[in-house]
Structure 1
Amino acid sequence: MALKKLNPKIKFAELNLKVVTQAQPLKATGRLVIGVNSFGFGGANAHVILESAPQHAASASAAPAQALPIILSARSAAALPAAASNLNDYLAKTPDFNVYDLAYQLALRREQHPHQVMAFCQTPSEVSAFLSQVIAQSEPLLGGKTIAKAQGPVFVFSGNGSQWASMGRSLLASNAVFQQAIAEVDAHFMPLSGYGLQDEIAGRNGQDSDHRYAQTEIAQPALFAIQVALVQMLRSQGITPSAVTGHSVGEVAAAWTAGALTLKDATAVIYHRSRMQGKTKGSGQMTAVAMGESEMNALLAECGLNIAIAGVNSARGITLAGEVNALSQIEAQLAARNIRFKRLDLDYAFHSAKMDPIENDLIAALSDIKPQLNSIAFYSTVTGELLSGEQLNAQYWWHNIRQPVLFENAINAINQSGANVFLEVGPHSVLRSYILETLKNNACEGLVLGTLSKTEHCENKVFSAMASIIASGCEIDWATQFPTPGQFMQLPNYPWQRERLWVNSSTESLGQLSRDMLHPLLGYALKQHASSWENQLDTIKKHRTGRSCRRRCGSFPRHWLC
């Protein structure tokens, strides 16, 4: 930089060195290797070697096999319409652009900022429609915000209470991945049951769905099949769980997702579990109560009632199971104490002594299943802890029916492992409030989503959950959507949102940043003092003789009074 003359004692030619004193042209072809030195003023030294990128033969652009996420991200919500406008203008010049290449560039070759919107598109016209929506800000869009230290997602599988008439019917009619997954479950279920779950979900098995789903031997297998199909939809977009847990019957789908049970064995568990529990119909009912476990134990002891705590869902949420008369008595006590409760629409007393008559038959029916080591962490709601898949034998599934559901313990254990993004997998979210309560008690910022609901049960609802997970910052298996690299596209740069930053004066300001010199000798007028001036004078500069300086008088004063 400041070199003017080379040291004659250094033999640069013999050392094969050339000191660069001006810009040098790089060769147009061939391999380049360049070293870049940086010697910091504070003593930090660095040397980086740069090499030409390897040459690859250009491959044909891949065609999208399914709808892919088109992601727009920005550092502020205000920048998103600008980003969409720039991209829309760019794509308008190449209307035959490849959606696969565009999705690949936006997902994997661009920095992801905190604010994101996206749509799942398969054709250029769908991309254009999405960008127009972002520009117009005319309707709600898929997406979300980044979560600090996002870990997950954790798949939480709903239990009884999430089923409803027509659940899964819309997806069965519209989504090929969902259809295929239900068919795969049916291949194992029909030989056991004699009827198909595709027909059940489609409403082709006679009677109305509400009446049939009141029978647990029908509702549980349908719930399981829908959960398996939802997992396959999520997997098809590269969204896989970091851990799984399930509430009661939800543990069966959780065990399959974790890899602890094959689909055949999981289907056998759901069939025999529901069939056996169906025999206990009419033996009791269940009530959900907004109360803590210890408080409820004290109240039950005080009242002397034979009621089981069937589930501990959160610090202020438990489920009771017992005979109808006993539940009515405890509900009267709760009402007198102004404590919220709700009798569940079930004609069964799950997770209580009313299940004891089916113990031996259930264990015998499941004696042939072969649990295996899981590939995804499985948190048991029987033990409330992390559990190896090899332990999910017939005896475990009996405990899954008989023992209380320790849902709060399982969520606590998952949260303490660092996970803070949860997705409830099922036809309707019934566990979200419990998870949020546990996160709040742990002072943890998190995200709790659902796949479907009674009011939103189409494909777009599942895509919405996917978009929120992607935006949250969770790790995504992008190789599922993009098995081969997309072709490079020179997309528009980031749309900077320019702001005018100017220091405004106040009545207290001395005006030091905005004042003007009014006189070469007097300098600046002092705003706070009338007839006062300020200047800085060089007393030496004007009195030089050769290389020496002579003073003719003392220094000038800095302030002048006139």
Structure 2
Amino acid sequence: MLALAGGVRLRIGWDEDRPDHLTEEAPVPGEGGCLFALKRLSLALADGDRVRCVILGGAVHNGRGEEPAIPQGVTQAQVLRDACARAGVAPGRVSYLTVDGGGASAQDGIGTATRALLRSGRAHDSGAATDSADTGIGRLGSVAGVAGLLKSVLSIEHRCLPPDPGDIRRLPRPWPGAEGVPLLAGVLASGADGTHCHLVLGEAPPATPDTPAAPGRSRRATGRGGARPTMLVPWVLSGRTPATLRAQARRLLDHVAGRPQPAPEDVGYSLATTRASFEHRAVVLGAGAEDLMDGLEAVAAGRDDPRLVMGRTVPDTGPVFVFPGQGPQWPGMARELLRTSAVFREGVEACAAAFEPFLDWSLLSLLSREEPDAAAWNRADVVQPALFTTMMSLVGLWRSHGVEPAAVVGHCVGEVVAACAAGGLSPADGARVVALWSRAQARLSGRGAMASVLLPEEQVRSQLRSWGERLAVAAVNGPNSTVVSGDGDAVRQFVTEVSALGVRARPVAIDLATHSPQTDELMDEIRSALAPIRPRSSPIPFYSTVVAGRLDTKELDADYWCRNLRRTVRFEQAARLALGHGHRLFVELSPHPVLAMGLRDTFEDAAPDAVVMGTLRRDRGGMEQFLHSLARAHVHGVQVDWAPVFSAPGDRRVDLPTYAFQRQPC
């Protein structure tokens, strides 16, 4: 919980500030504003906030119409005594006091009883050092107490007092009192109705091993092993305009280059957790200070760089999670994340437990093996459980960084993952569907094939008329992306024929013909095997590629999954419907992006401002690739929680330059 308190004084009128109204007793008027962030100390320490001082106690006394400009000895002394009692300190221990309403001299604002109280218990009858809130700023009137609080906070933080008004050198004064004694300051302020307020301030406590979370770390970032899973460090920047973004990068570059360099991780953590995110964004990814500073230079200069991800936010409707069918798999696709990400590994282990009743082999062993079993990766009843497990674990990884799906859409086996990610199927039911479904499909292995053709559906269907039931349109992934399925020899011959016509066509890595008449013989077996599943309604929109529309997930029963396997996958139509509902950001959660091309073609026709991105890529299946994908999602407007990236115990917040305002008229 956080509270904000402060005050502002603006010199709007002229009469009160005319030179003939100013006298020695009435200082020059001042103006300005200040805002304080107030938080319980325990929460501030646990959240890693920088604590500048602690409010130990306070008191308010209603003066019932007393003149605030004239110190009321008894009233003022009483509120000081009450505040110190609540703070648990003797008034004589307060060694610095700011007051308002005292004109040019702080002593003018302190009553006799108050001065006596501040001297009590002190050696040599010495009192506290005093300061007027107006000194060095100007007459502040009703907001003088805010200035006094600011002076006291900064004095405690820097362990010195503001310069004496008579010191022309303007040198800070040493803090009064014995060396090693905890610093205590007081702030006295008066209201227009004669009300007096007093606060007692003390130093922030030093960090100790008993602090709930290590200094500078978010509570959400803890508890996952403590080791940073990647050598890359992200530095996150943003601005309202491209010019501001470049200026922000230049300001940060000058900041880190012109002083003893803070740790790159500390700068990254501070950028990610203490700065707002605006429309124009950049993420610099580097393995060290030199890398990161070179990336900043590229941002400041407005040039491309491989260490740099830049973009502008799209309309904020949240990301659509996209899950492909069989095809993006590759041996070792999960191995690196299993080794480096505790969240991903937990996801794999949970899926392996869900599959255990249905498989006679180990999913965890298959996915972590250093030397992949090439023969196993050619079997549908191995590939599909492995794909499901990898994609579901990627869902957990995205979610652990604060990214939740606004909607889901899936392709073939990917639709089972979509149903589980949305909450329409339990993980156990999802595992049952994939395991028993793929086991039945495996009986078709070797009899069929599939191929991707870069032609519109109508043209492909025209080409297929002469093939009868030997070939069928298996999927429509985009306006110029169609998948053909059927007898193996027929598919290979078809690819040869259309390639000779200058059409791009390539085989899909699968040796069976789903979404074709070959699957008819499996329907009764699959319907019976999946009868026990219990689908349920989900609050997350589910765009069905079977009915080409949004569907209540309670309809995802055994019969639905039979239709999924047999019918044409209407991915393009489902994506168009999501675009029509305002979604503009699509994230493909897979070992390699295979639906992105079809989606981009659909965007060109239906929504040019939409964006699609992947998660992993072939032979790049680790946290560094995931971090690049996370950065790309962030620059396009996804709300990312960067704290888990900075989960090492040493990460802490450091000072950063403020926003690079361009100061241009609106």
Q: TM-score, normalised by structure 2?
A: 0.61
Segments of 5+ residues of structure 1 without an aligned counterpart are 6-14, 35-54, 121-125, 500-562
Which residue in 1 is equivalent to 2:581?
A: 417
Tell me how far 1:259 sits from its aligned partner: 0.8
Residues 482, 128 of structure 1: alpha-carbon distance in 2 compared, 3 angstrom cutoff? closer
Tell me how far 1:354 sits from its aligned partner: 0.7
Task: Kindly provide the CA deviation profile for residues 165-212 of structure 1, in whole angstroms up to 9, marking residues without a partner as x.
Answer: 2221222222222111111111121232122211001227x8x43321
Secondary structure of the corresponding residue to residue 375 of structure 2: helix
What is the alpha-carbon distance in structure 2 between the residues aligned to residue 324 and residue 354 of structure 1? 11
Which residue in 2 is equivalent to 1:72?
A: 237
Q: Is the 8 A contact 1:380 1:386 kept in 2?
A: yes
What is the alpha-carbon distance in structure 2 between the residues aligned to residue 289 and residue 210 of structure 1? 27
1:315-354 matches, cutoff 5 A: 315-331=479-495, 333-335=497-499, 337-354=501-518
Aligned residue type for 1:83: R
Residues 446, 33 of structure 1: alpha-carbon distance in 2 compared, 3 angstrom cutoff? farther
Tell me how far 1:418 sits from its aligned partner: 1.3
Residues 183, 32 of structure 1: alpha-carbon distance in 2 compared, 3 angstrom cutoff? farther
Q: Is the 8 A contact 2:234 2:268 kept in 1?
A: no
Which residue in 2 is equivalent to 1:508?
A: none
Which residue in 2 is equivalent to 1:149?
A: 315
Residues 87, 421 of structure 1: alpha-carbon distance in 2 compared, 3 angstrom cutoff? farther
Find the partner of 1:190 among 348, 351, 356.
356
Which residue in 2 is equivalent to 1:492?
A: 657
Which residue in 2 is equivalent to 1:160?
A: 326
Which residue in 2 is equivalent to 1:256?
A: 420
Task: Kindly provide the CA deviation profile for residues 214-256 of structure 1, in whole angstroms up to 9, marking residues without a partner as x.
Answer: 1000000111111111111111111121111111111111111
Aligned residue type for 1:255: A
Secondary structure of the corresponding residue to residue 524 of structure 2: helix
Shifted more, 429-438 versus 291-300: the winner is 291-300
Q: Is the 8 A contact 1:381 1:406 kept in 2?
A: yes
Which residue in 2 is equivalent to 1:553?
A: none
Residues 148, 203 of structure 1: alpha-carbon distance in 2 compared, 3 angstrom cutoff? closer
What is the alpha-carbon distance in structure 2 between the residues aligned to residue 356 and residue 297 of structure 1? 20
Secondary structure of the corresponding residue to residue 475 of structure 2: strand
Task: Kindly provide the CA deviation profile for residues 247-272 of structure 1, in whole angstroms up to 9, marking residues without a partner as x.
Answer: 11111111111111111111111111
Residues 33, 380 of structure 1: alpha-carbon distance in 2 compared, 3 angstrom cutoff? farther
Q: Is the 8 A contact 1:70 1:127 kept in 2?
A: no
Residues 108, 496 of structure 1: alpha-carbon distance in 2 compared, 3 angstrom cutoff? closer
Find the partner of 1:26 among 120, 144, 149.
144
Secondary structure of the corresponding residue to residue 526 of structure 2: helix
Residues 377, 476 of structure 1: alpha-carbon distance in 2 compared, 3 angstrom cutoff? farther
Aligned Cα root-mean-square deviation (Å): 3.9
**2:243 matches 1:82:** no
Aligned residue type for 1:494: Y
Q: Is the 8 A contact 1:420 1:444 kept in 2?
A: no
Task: Kindly provide the CA deviation profile for residues 471-521 of structure 1, in whole angstroms up to 9, marking residues without a partner as x.
Answer: 1112346798899xx99865312356899xxxxxxxxxxxxxxxxxxxxxx
Q: Is the 8 A contact 1:236 1:481 kept in 2?
A: no
Higher RCO by CA contacts (8 Å cutoff, separation 6 or greater): 1
Q: Is the 8 A contact 1:323 1:349 kept in 2?
A: yes
1:376-391 matches, cutoff 5 A: 376-391=540-555
Tell me how far 1:91 sits from its aligned partner: 8.0
Q: Is the 8 A contact 1:189 1:196 kept in 2?
A: no
What is the alpha-carbon distance in structure 2 between the residues aligned to residue 267 and residue 474 of structure 1? 29
What is the alpha-carbon distance in structure 2 between the residues aligned to residue 488 and residue 31 of structure 1? 33
Task: Kindly provide the CA deviation profile for residues 319-363 of structure 1, in whole angstroms up to 9, marking residues without a partner as x.
Answer: 111123433454454245433322333210101111112111111
What is the alpha-carbon distance in structure 2 between the residues aligned to residue 167 and residue 210 of structure 1? 13
Q: Is the 8 A contact 2:587 2:614 kept in 1?
A: yes
Tell me how far 1:467 sits from its aligned partner: 0.8
**Corresponding residue pairs, total:** 462
Tell me how far 1:69 sits from its aligned partner: 5.5
1:111-510 matches, cutoff 5 A: 111-119=277-285, 128=289, 131-135=292-296, 140-203=306-369, 208-301=372-465, 304=468, 306-331=470-495, 333-335=497-499, 337-476=501-640, 490-495=655-660
Segments of 5+ residues of structure 2 without an aligned counterpart are 1-12, 18-64, 69-137, 149-186, 193-200, 206-210, 299-303
Q: TM-score, normalised by structure 1?
A: 0.72
Aligned residue type for 1:160: Q
Q: Is the 8 A contact 2:320 2:587 kept in 1?
A: yes
Tell me how far 1:379 sits from its aligned partner: 0.9
Higher helix share: 2
Q: Is the 8 A contact 2:248 2:659 kept in 1?
A: no
Tell me how far 1:295 sits from its aligned partner: 2.1
Aligned residue type for 2:428: K
Q: Is the 8 A contact 1:291 1:317 kept in 2?
A: yes
Secondary structure of the corresponding residue to residue 337 of structure 2: helix
Q: Is the 8 A contact 2:478 2:598 kept in 1?
A: yes
What is the alpha-carbon distance in structure 2 between the residues aligned to residue 363 and residue 492 of structure 1? 63
Secondary structure of the corresponding residue to residue 192 of structure 1: coil
What is the alpha-carbon distance in structure 2 between the residues aligned to residue 17 and residue 476 of structure 1? 54
Secondary structure of the corresponding residue to residue 535 of structure 2: coil
What is the alpha-carbon distance in structure 1 between the residues aligned to residue 144 and residue 352 of structure 2? 65
What is the alpha-carbon distance in structure 2 between the residues aligned to residue 31 and residue 160 of structure 1? 71
Aligned residue type for 1:363: R
Aligned residue type for 2:344: F
Q: Is the 8 A contact 2:269 2:643 kept in 1?
A: no
Tell me how far 1:102 sits from its aligned partner: 6.7
